[in-house]
Structure 1
Amino acid sequence: MNYLTIFWDADFGLDIFGFTLRWYSLLFAMGFVLGYQLMIRIYKKEGIDIKLMDSFLTYAVIATIVGARLGHCFFYDWEYYSQHPLEILQVWQGGLASHGAAIALIIAMYFYGKKLTKYFSGEQKERKAMLYTLDRLVITVALAGCFIRFGNWMNSEIYGKIDNSSIETVFVKNIERPLGETRYSQEIKYATAVFTGESLETDSLTYPILSVTAYPRVPFNQPQVNALFGNIAQYFNTQDINDLHAIVLADTEPVINNDGSFTFRVLGVPRLPTQLFESGAYLLIFFILYALYRKGNFALRNGFLFGTFLVLVFGFRFVVEFFKANQTAFEEGMSLNMGQWLSIPLVLIGLVMMAFAKPVELTNTEKK
């Protein structure tokens, strides 16, 4: 069977005057910027003082980053971070969890909502203000989620399980990077991997064959290349199945080229590009939420849009996790992984919010 294989080899960022601006960071920031502009538009439309947007952005950014980081550390890797607590602060090292961000945003909007109580009458003003803010915030969060998951795609991370599909993906950077940037960077300057046009068919999978060329920092003779290649082959072939991106066959031998580099062949491991599935789903959810906000009385039903967001986002997250590679070792053997267990209560909360959402109207506004 023929498959459309995506050989994803995008750089992780843009080099600007010796500084690398990572695509993930750029897309993450873009999600906030567009969300900020959309919230300003909503505030103007509904007569809310746009000066309140300054503190809103502060609450939202801090809650997202802190909550997502703590969520990852506590939910996914507490065994490690409990022994290395200072590394929790190293956000730039990666490790963010959307469930943690969701919880933190709810808490943050409770405190931010106090600034909007003057726009509500009757009892439970703080609750009304919090839900009003969340109803509008989640529209922008869905859009940001689209950008963030696309950033994960650019980073070749949070990918799917090994599988042949109509859009199977070989994450080439995860083959090249250990050679020239991380594990073997002292011996190798950089490496490239290109598709040979050949494939190997097994009973369960069809593997595309790639030619990998490594460029040593100093000239190597054949025995040195053979020894290094033996280590490289062992490294690739002993990876956990969730981190496996290349397989070196037992009869493969490295060939030294005229320029001092050496070349060997590997089987590229095809995976599902679940980052794109999620990015597309969150963009669709953004359009759904925005359409609900603009039409009918859904925007006036306090908590309805927030509940819809929880049901759609974390309901989809529950389903897509069946197709994603596990993020941590402890998830192996679990009938449901951590992302799914954390999604269940959020979906249930969302259903309750939708069922019991009550109409509420703003007062003391200057609508435009």
Structure 2
Amino acid sequence: MDQLLSITWDAGRGIDLGFFTLRYYSLLFALGFVLGYFIMKRIFKREGIPIEKLDTLLTYTVVATIVGARLGHVFFYQWDYYSQHPWDIIKVWEGGLASHGAAVAIIIAMIIYSKKVLDKSTLWILDRVVITVALAGCFIRLGNFANSEIYGDVSNSAWEMVFTNPVRDRILNTNGQWIDGVEFIEKEEYEITDSITYPIYDVEVHFNPKIGNRARAQESFLDHIKPLLASASKEDKNLVITGNEFEWDESETLVGTIEARGYPRRPTQIFEALAYLAIFFILARLYLVADVRQRVGMLFGLFLILVFGFRFAIEFLKENQVSAEEGRAFNIGQSLSIPLVIAGLYFSIFAKKLKNEKE
């Protein structure tokens, strides 16, 4: 069996500036909205809308995106947990955002914005703001990729990747008191099964002197870390320890390597980012067509069809986000996408009837 391209994705979470770490996800999230701001600025100028109304639009959109995405995750994906830990809902920095919640919140925000700030119909502003939302979606998925989250299922494909950052985080978060660092070195060896070819790694572990000696370090690692990684749920399994003892670096007292098996996954974050970028260009191009632009609700409807239609399809290649999705015909993301696609079909089909509404 020929080994296809295998990439180890081991990028850090951000840029260490000394006094704080600039997270890649935060940077890409912000970049998406900054670019969207300048695109909407051109649209407002083109259509004679006062630019001073643009700052308010940005505020509405950003707040709706963050609050809606967070509440969407809380209620759609992990209500059992957050109903018992309500204070954790505000911990957005720990992750947990749902695009479906963001979509609903943005629609609500645009209803309020169109009534309080803009002398236009809600569908008029939605037709234009979804162009920038598609672009922001691209950057948000790139942020997910940087964070090694929302990845695909285990598979051999032309783009397979092993995400090692979640493994390092899990080790350090649970045993950081006696491990200073973990590195993953891909070997030119593979474990071949009937369906998957697993790349083999040397895991280099830098133990803290507090562990005592090599014998204690090896015992603790095999007793705690090895079963910890092996017991990971299907959606969290990225690497398991297969070796039974360390090979110690003779020049370093407490630096040892042990063999492990990596789990190659589809980088579905990249697929989604490329799809949303393509949707951005499609919507932007159609906006320039006068007949399409005048059909109020047409671009909004197309956005819902394309974005959530693709989201429905890509979920078949993704790992479940929560264990409660196991055994379901459609996961939560797919179930939430269906009504949004139907709504998109409605707005697209009946857009012509709405074209004479107040613009």
TM-score of the two chains, using structure 1 as the length reference: 0.93
SS of 1:252's partner is: coil
Contact 1:192 1:214 in 2 (8 A): yes
Contact 1:188 1:217 in 2 (8 A): yes
- Residues 1:221 and 1:19: Cα distance change in structure 2 (over 3 Å): same
2: CA distance, partners of 1:252 / 1:45 = 67
Deviations 1:254-275 (A, max 9, x none): 2222212111010111000000
1:234 aligns to what? 227
Once the two structures are TM-superposed, the CA of residue 201 in structure 1 deviates from its matched residue by 0.7
1: CA distance, partners of 2:244 / 2:195 = 22
SS of 1:242's partner is: helix
1: CA distance, partners of 2:262 / 2:95 = 25
Q: 1:234 is aligned with what amino acid?
A: P
SS of 2:199's partner is: strand
Deviations 1:24-79 (A, max 9, x none): 00000001100011001100000111111121111111111100000000000000
1: CA distance, partners of 2:283 / 2:165 = 35
Asked if 1:248 corresponds to 2:248, the answer is: no
Contact 2:207 2:217 in 1 (8 A): no
- Residues 1:36 and 1:360: Cα distance change in structure 2 (over 3 Å): farther
SS of 2:175's partner is: coil
1:126 aligns to what? none
Q: 1:7 is aligned with what amino acid?
A: T
In structure 1, the gaps of 5 or more residues are: 120-128, 364-368
1:359 aligns to what? 355
Contact 2:189 2:200 in 1 (8 A): yes
- Residues 1:302 and 1:185: Cα distance change in structure 2 (over 3 Å): same
1:277 aligns to what? 271
Please say which of residues 182-191 and 219-228 is displaced more in the overlay. Answer: 219-228
Partner of residue 289 from structure 1, selected from 249, 273, 283: 283
2:115 aligns to what? 114
1:211 aligns to what? 202
2: CA distance, partners of 1:118 / 1:283 = 30
Contact 1:201 1:207 in 2 (8 A): yes
Asked if 1:177 corresponds to 2:177, the answer is: no
Q: 1:17 is aligned with what amino acid?
A: G
Asked if 1:44 corresponds to 2:45, the answer is: yes
Asked if 1:152 corresponds to 2:152, the answer is: no
Asked if 1:162 corresponds to 2:154, the answer is: yes
1: CA distance, partners of 2:357 / 2:44 = 14
1: CA distance, partners of 2:118 / 2:77 = 37
Once the two structures are TM-superposed, the CA of residue 184 in structure 1 deviates from its matched residue by 1.4
Q: 1:47 is aligned with what amino acid?
A: G
Q: 1:346 is aligned with what amino acid?
A: L
SS of 1:297's partner is: helix
SS of 1:214's partner is: strand
Partner of residue 216 from structure 2, selected from 217, 224, 227: 224
2: CA distance, partners of 1:41 / 1:355 = 28
Contact 1:177 1:191 in 2 (8 A): no
Identity across the alignment (%): 50
SS of 2:258's partner is: strand
| Count of residue correspondences | 352
1:198 aligns to what? 189
Once the two structures are TM-superposed, the CA of residue 178 in structure 1 deviates from its matched residue by 2.4
Contact 1:225 1:262 in 2 (8 A): no
Asked if 1:316 corresponds to 2:307, the answer is: no
Contact 1:229 1:254 in 2 (8 A): no
In structure 2, the gaps of 5 or more residues are: none
Once the two structures are TM-superposed, the CA of residue 361 in structure 1 deviates from its matched residue by 7.7
Q: 2:325 is aligned with what amino acid?
A: E
Asked if 1:11 corresponds to 2:12, the answer is: yes
Contact 1:225 1:254 in 2 (8 A): no
TM-score of the two chains, using structure 2 as the length reference: 0.95
Contact 2:155 2:264 in 1 (8 A): yes
Asked if 1:135 corresponds to 2:127, the answer is: yes
2:25 aligns to what? 24
Root mean square deviation, CA, Å: 1.4
2:321 aligns to what? 327
Once the two structures are TM-superposed, the CA of residue 220 in structure 1 deviates from its matched residue by 4.0
Runs of 4+ in 1 over 6 A off after TM superposition: none
1: CA distance, partners of 2:249 / 2:49 = 68
Deviations 1:160-197 (A, max 9, x none): 00011111000121232323x31211110111001011
Q: For residues 22-101 of structure 1, what are the structure 2 equivalents within 5 Å?
A: 22-101=23-102
Contact 2:53 2:118 in 1 (8 A): no
Once the two structures are TM-superposed, the CA of residue 244 in structure 1 deviates from its matched residue by 0.3
2: CA distance, partners of 1:216 / 1:350 = 55
1: CA distance, partners of 2:219 / 2:280 = 53
